Structures are given as structure tokens and as C-alpha cells.
Structure 1
């Protein structure tokens, strides 16, 4: 590691994995200023301030998530510069210290790793996987177990045409211009992305469902790419759900994709934020020691 700005001190860079329930946050990014809204990053940096770094600690988050979106595992890099003569924190001590000083119970640091001083959590990521949870067999959202609320999209349907959803998902695989699934406000310079995985599968039964709620079923949609456009996953989810409910055919999904039109009749709907989870962020050389995907 290169020397820091303070004489005799050493700046160490770390990659940290962390998770959170997004319900209480205005997204993962820090909210600066006097607004009441807060991001997960605000709490992480507040905890990091207790590390007594010579230079204030700032988190560079790999994957931005919107208000209400959760993360099973997100990542960020940060620099900690201790005073002259003090050795860098071990990754284990750093993770424990951050968890000790975190003031929100819905955030947890999973683990930390020492990385080179030029490592960048966002640019170095080779894969991101998102999980979207659906529930069927629940005629009204109020009928959903309270412990599942804010953690899935409860559909007013008893079943989904999963085969049709899988067929539709195959049209999205590969490298395409995903303009039709991009919401306004994206800072991306190109809308071309490579979707490596689209899957639709039964999810685990809810531990919290009562015996009389036997019709309740959960479904998992997973999407993997190196990077995604703004709200791309939620817009693709909404279209696949429309296929599962019979409102669209798989062939129409290809037409939507090829249209490159984000304002078309069928692709303007965005799936609710509370069903979405960032599942994993992977790095070359770290796949064997990062959190399991």
C-alpha cells in the first residue's frame, strides 16, 4: 500500500461485503445534506467514523439499489488511514468494528478483505446477480403473512405460466440493446448489456405461512449480468410476470426488446421495489473467498 498524506501513516484499502433490508432506507447511496431521508451508506460511514482514521472514511459502493430494495450481499471499498506507528486493521477486526458501531439493526457487515490501493469495487465487479421474489395464491396483499410483507410481490393470482415465462426469458439472454427496459434518469452511456442468466423457479415455502394458507406459493426470478441499467431488473420482471399471467406472449417480449422503446404500451410497468434483492457481486480472484452466491 502506498503512503498516505500524513507522515509515517499507511493507507489501507478494504473491500467489504454487507447486507441490508432496504425498507427503511432511501436506497443504498448516502443522502447528503439536511434531508430526513437516509441511505445505507450514511450508516456505514457513521460507523466508520469511529475507526479514528486520519482521513474521513468514504464508502464507494459497487451496486446502487433504490429505496425499498434489499441486498443479501452488496460490496464497497473504503480506505482507512491509521495514525503513524499504528498497523492497518486486519480485515476481521475491521468488519467486527463496523458491526459494533452500526446504529441500524437492518444492516450487517458480512466480511472484509484487504485489496490493492487501486482496486475499485464498482469497476472491478465481473458479475452481479439479482433475485426477485413473487408470491401467488394470495388474493389480497393484506392476506400475506406479516413477516413476508416488504419482501415479495404478492400477485392476485393462484398460479403462473412458468414455462411461458422461461420461454420469454430466453429472448432476453445474450447481448442486446436493453433501452426498452431502462427507466429515465440512467447515467449509463450505453444501453447495451449482456444478460448471462434469466431463471424462473419455485422458491422455498414460507416458514410463516399458516396451515390454512396452503395455496400460498413463492417464485424466484434471477438475473445475472456484469451490470444493469437503471430499473432494468424491475422492468424485465414486470414483463415476465405479465407473460406468466397471460397478458403477454413470449413472442411479444422479443418484440418489446427489439423496439428499444422504453415508453411502449407493455413495458412501462415497474415491479415493486420490495420484492427485489441484490444477491451477489463477484470479482475475479475473489469468487472463492467472497460470500456464497
Structure 2
């Protein structure tokens, strides 16, 4: 919970949503004792300008690896103002953090005041990841320069989307996902519940020239769960792409899942980080950026799931 407030000081806890392009960073987590190469380093450098009595630390909801992007990640932080100074209104906090951020690839989206024992990782009820694919790209240098760090470029012109969707059905539900977990995960259990998977044509990229538009096709693969294992999404994506390219059948995906073997020939491949986006982190009761019920009341009580503390929300 952190240090107790100094006498007369007011400590306020906030939930902030933020986004970033992952290309310049060594992941979202802070790298201590070195130059600021993690997104968290820059967030905490900005927060240091708030003149909090105690140093401000960000507790990140979902850790992402180097090169992985976030349309909306979340974190909680405590700001302890001096005696006689009221807590920052959430909108002022968000504006102040943005004004002090030193890296243009990070932006604070919104802030909420939450209860003092709210926890950004354990209270999350849903996390959604988006993976972007591009087909019809004979070489990576044929991809528009503005897309090169935002998708996985595939040489073939065709993906068997129907087969990918059939394979995805084997992954839905509650399973032991050991076969899709990379080494290094601190998770105590590899059982997860995958609530949703979709494979669909992606929006036409505005960066593709007219003479290239008939060749390049973009695709979106989305996954939703309360939490994921380390690199689970990237490994599942690689297997689904193998199905789409005809290297695997949908039935083989079920066999891979049931094998619980992360070192198998097909499931050991990890899709590139550059195509992965953390799309959203939701909390029961709050409202999302569009005003739709998605996330917790601004004074939501409790940690929102102490039983979930064994779950690890990691980049996939």
C-alpha cells in the first residue's frame, strides 16, 4: 500500500490510462539503474514534477515487452500533496503528466480518482489484445515505411481465414495454456479463460499507395481474457497464422493445446512484437473513454479481486 501519509498530508490514489508506441522502448516496465528506456521510467519522471511529498511510483496493469504497443494500458499511482493542498482533480493530473512527459511516443489518456486500496493489475476484469497482419508483402521493405513497426508482414497473398476461425474455436474457454507460454513467466498457474477470439479484415491503411492497394491486405486478430500468460497471444497468433497459411490444420491446434508442451515444433514460434497492441484494460463499474460502461466507479472500493493476485498480466 505504500508509506503512510505525513501528518496533515493528503494521499490520493489515481487510475490512469495511457498509450504508447512500443518501438522506442525496452517494454513498459521501468529499467532501474540505467537510462530511461522503459515507458514507466518516463511516466515516473513526469510524475516527479508533481511535487508529491513521497516519490510517485506507477503500478502497471499489463506489462508489455520491447516493441509491443498499447492503445490503452493502465496503472495506479499515489500522489501525496503537502498539508493544506487538496488532491489534484483527475483531469488536472492527466494534463500535468502530459505536459511533463519527455517522450513524444507516450500519452496520458484519462485519469480517475480511486479508493486507496484499488490495484490496477488485480482489479482488471478484462484485457483485449489486437494483432495486426499484412498479406501480399513479398519483402519487408515493400511495406509502407509508416507501417513497418505496426504489423507482421507476410509474403503470401492469401490467408485461409475460415480455417483460422475454426482453429480459434479450440482455444476458446478455460484451458491449461502451457503450450503457448514462453519461459520466464512467474505465473503460478497456466490455466486461463479465453473469452473471445476474432479474425477479420483490418481497415485499409491510409499509408498504402493506390498502385499497391490490390496486393496488400491487412488483418486483425483479437483476443480477450482477464489475464494472459507470458507471450501467450504472440504464440497463439503464430499458430493461427500457420493454419491460415496451410502449414497446420485446425485439428492440430487442439492437439497442440492439449499437449501442454511449449517446446513443440509449431507452437514454439513467437509472432513479432511489432504487430501486437494492448487494446484495452477494463474495470467493472468505471466508464471507458467513450462513456460506455466498461471500467469502476471513481471511488470503487476494494482491490477488485484478491483471488486474482496469482494471475500475471504480461505482454503476450
Kindly tell me the number of residue pairs found equivalent between the two proteins. 291
Q: How does 1:263-274 map to 2 (within 5 A)?
A: 263-274=263-274
2:199 counterpart residue number: 200
Find the residue that maps to 1:114 and give its secondary structure.
Answer: strand
2:177 counterpart residue number: 178
1:52 counterpart residue number: 51
Find the residue that maps to 1:269 and give its secondary structure.
Answer: coil
Report the more deviating stretch, 190-199 or 205-214.
205-214
Find the residue that maps to 2:147 and give its secondary structure.
Answer: coil
Tell me the distance in 1 between the aligned counterparts of 2:76 and 2:235.
29
Q: TM-score, normalised by structure 1?
A: 0.97
* Preserved contact between residue 4 and residue 81 of structure 1 (Cα < 8 Å): no
2:313 counterpart residue number: none
Q: TM-score, normalised by structure 2?
A: 0.90
Q: How does 1:88-99 map to 2 (within 5 A)?
A: 88-99=87-98
Q: How does 1:91-240 map to 2 (within 5 A)?
A: 91-214=90-213, 215-240=215-240
Q: How does 1:4-43 map to 2 (within 5 A)?
A: 4-34=4-34, 36=35, 38-43=37-42
Q: CA deviation at 1:5?
A: 2.6
Find the residue that maps to 1:127 and give its secondary structure.
Answer: strand
* Preserved contact between residue 36 and residue 42 of structure 2 (Cα < 8 Å): no
* Preserved contact between residue 129 and residue 222 of structure 1 (Cα < 8 Å): yes
The CA deviation string for residues 24-54 of structure 1, in whole angstroms up to 9 with x for no partner, is 00000000013x4610000000000000000
1:283 counterpart residue number: 283
Tell me the distance in 2 between the aligned counterparts of 1:88 and 1:232.
39
* Preserved contact between residue 14 and residue 113 of structure 1 (Cα < 8 Å): yes
Q: How does 1:59-98 map to 2 (within 5 A)?
A: 59-98=58-97
Structure 2: runs of 5 or more not aligned: 295-316
Tell me the distance in 2 between the aligned counterparts of 1:276 and 1:291.
25
CA RMSD of superposed structures (Å) = 1.5
Q: CA deviation at 1:287?
A: 4.0
Q: CA deviation at 1:286?
A: 1.2
* Preserved contact between residue 26 and residue 37 of structure 1 (Cα < 8 Å): no
Q: CA deviation at 1:191?
A: 0.1
Q: CA deviation at 1:212?
A: 1.1
Structure 1: runs of 5 or more not aligned: none
* Preserved contact between residue 133 and residue 221 of structure 1 (Cα < 8 Å): yes
Tell me the distance in 2 between the aligned counterparts of 1:103 and 1:137.
38
